[in-house]
Structure formats: C-alpha cells, structure tokens
Amino acid sequence: MKQIKTYNAIANKGLDKFSRDNYEVSSEFSAPDAILLRSQKLHDEPIASSVKAIARCGAGVNNIPIQACTENGIVVFNTPGANANAVKELVLTGLLLSARDVCGGMQYSQSLTELSDATAMDKLLEKEKKRFSGSEIKGKTLGVIG
C-alpha cells in the first residue's frame, strides 16, 4: 500500500483517481511515498527520505525545492492546464466586472449605512446608479495583457 501525503485542499475529483486498494491518501503521513500539494511551500520543510515523487496540483513548481529533490532522486512534476477552465472563467468574470464597474457599485452601495428610510435610499440610488453604468461590450474587443 503506497502512502500519499497531501498538503492544501486537493479536489476529490483528483484524489479519486487513486484506487483505495493500492493507495492511502492523508495529510498525516510522516514517511509517505509521494506528496501532492498546491501552494504549500516545501523549501523550508524537511522531506522524508521515503518520498519518491512530488506532484504540484497546478502549474509551476516554484514552491518545491527542485535542486534538493534532484539530488535525492525525487521526481517532481506539475499538472499544467488542470485548472484551465477555472482560469478562463475567472478571466471572463474579471473582464465583465471591469467593463461594468460592478465592484465600484457594490462598494458604493455598501457604504450607504446612514440611510434607513427606503424611499430616500431609492431616490439616492436612482440618482447615483449612472456613476456605475460602465459600457456595453457588444461590438467591442476586451482583452488581457500580461
């Protein structure tokens, strides 16, 4: 039975790939055969001599001490693209939020703590909502630089 130590919250969808007949998955192992992590920084942590592989559940491996792993024969790999749909959705959300200044409107409405009269609030919001209208995206090109 192989032991896989997890750091961070690893999605069950990924953990379910490990047959429970062959693998034990837990964050509690002191001498695991492998490590799964997301953002946990391993640079200042001791890595058990039993570890044969470290997988970064995401892109990049900057949180893993590659040189030390190489010297100890530990295979290191990542899973680029595993969260590609989530990234695309967040980028699209950011573009739409910025085109319409939704965040500015939310901050403004949350700052209105002095008005308790609903009629006065309605009048004020009707007057002020044009400040946060943004622009329609139809026929425009939105993009991300960076």
pLDDT of residue 62: 95
* pLDDT at residue number 146: 66
pLDDT at 63: 96
| Residue 43 identity (one-letter amino acid) | H
**Is 104 within 8 Å of 128 (Cβ atoms)?**
no
Q: Which residue range forms the structural domain that includes residue 116?
A: 84-132
What is the Cα–Cα distance from 108 to 110, expressed in whole angstroms? 5
Which pLDDT score, from 0 to 100, does residue 123 have?
85
Q: Give 97-142 pLDDT, tens digit per residue.
A: 888 888 888 888 888 877 777 888 888 888 888 888 778 888 888 7
User: Do 69 and 110 fall within a single domain?
Assistant: no
* Cα(40)–Cα(58) distance, integer angstroms: 12
Give the H or E element holding residue 37: strand 34-37
Summarised one tens digit per residue, pLDDT across range 53-106 is: 999 998 899 999 999 999 999 999 998 877 788 888 988 888 888 888 888 888
What residues pair up with 25 in beta bridges, in sequence order?
4
Is 46's pLDDT higher than 80? yes
Is the domain of 63 the same as that of 13? yes
> Phi and psi for 67 in degrees, rounded to 5?
-60, -45
Q: Is residue 12, in this structure, part of any structural domain at all?
A: yes
Q: Indicate if 72 and 92 belong to the same structural domain.
A: no
Q: Does residue 14 sit in the same domain as residue 66?
A: yes
Residues 51 and 26 in one domain: yes
Q: How many residues does the chain have?
A: 146
Q: What is the pTM of this model?
A: 0.64
CA torsion through residues 50, 55, 56, 57, sign: negative
Q: How many domains would you assign to the chain?
A: 2
